[in-house]
Amino acid sequence: MLTNTRTIRIEWGDCDPAGIVFYPRYFAMFEVCISALFERATGLTKYRMVKAYDFVGYPAVQARAQFLAPAKYGDDVIAETSIGEFRRSSFDVHHRVFNGERLAVEGFETRVWVGRHPDDPAKLKSKPIPAEVIAAFTRAPSPA
């Protein structure tokens, strides 16, 4: 299935007093990578997807990562992102972040497609992922 690859510069503000990435920043990076993967597949930014498909987002219900090698500010890491599986209203994402030749971080997330709850707009409720979105991942992608 479609894999999106991007180079991400580790910035000063991503790092902690040990001089290495403060690990919650990797999960923020995962969010960026998922948006980019969907944009690669559908041609739409997350903002446009939210408007086009009338949903609220795809929050995580599970996330895990292994931090195998540190990265520091000034490093350019390569993040590879792909969907493991699409289900009715959730999907799995696989992330691999390389620092040079080394696998620095490997991450897995489960995300849920949600909209506003029909009975209470302050609440969220899972929605089916549009078939069109899933189909976009199996079509030949547009060039990066």
Residues with a catalytic annotation lie at 16
What is the SS3 assignment for 111?
A: strand
Question: With contact defined as beta carbons under 8 Å apart, do 110 and 61 qualify?
Answer: yes
Both structure tokens of 84 = 């493991």
| From 64-72, 80-88, 96-104, 135-143, span contacting its own copies (CB under 8 A) | 64-72
Cβ of residue 62: shortest distance to its own copies, in angstroms? 5
27 lies in the site for its own copies, by CB under 8 A: yes
CA distance 135 to 119: 30
CA distance 121 to 19: 43
Binding residues for its own copies, rule: CB under 8 A, are 9, 11-13, 15-20, 22-25, 27-28, 31-32, 35, 45-48, 56-57, 59-68, 70, 72-75, 114, 124
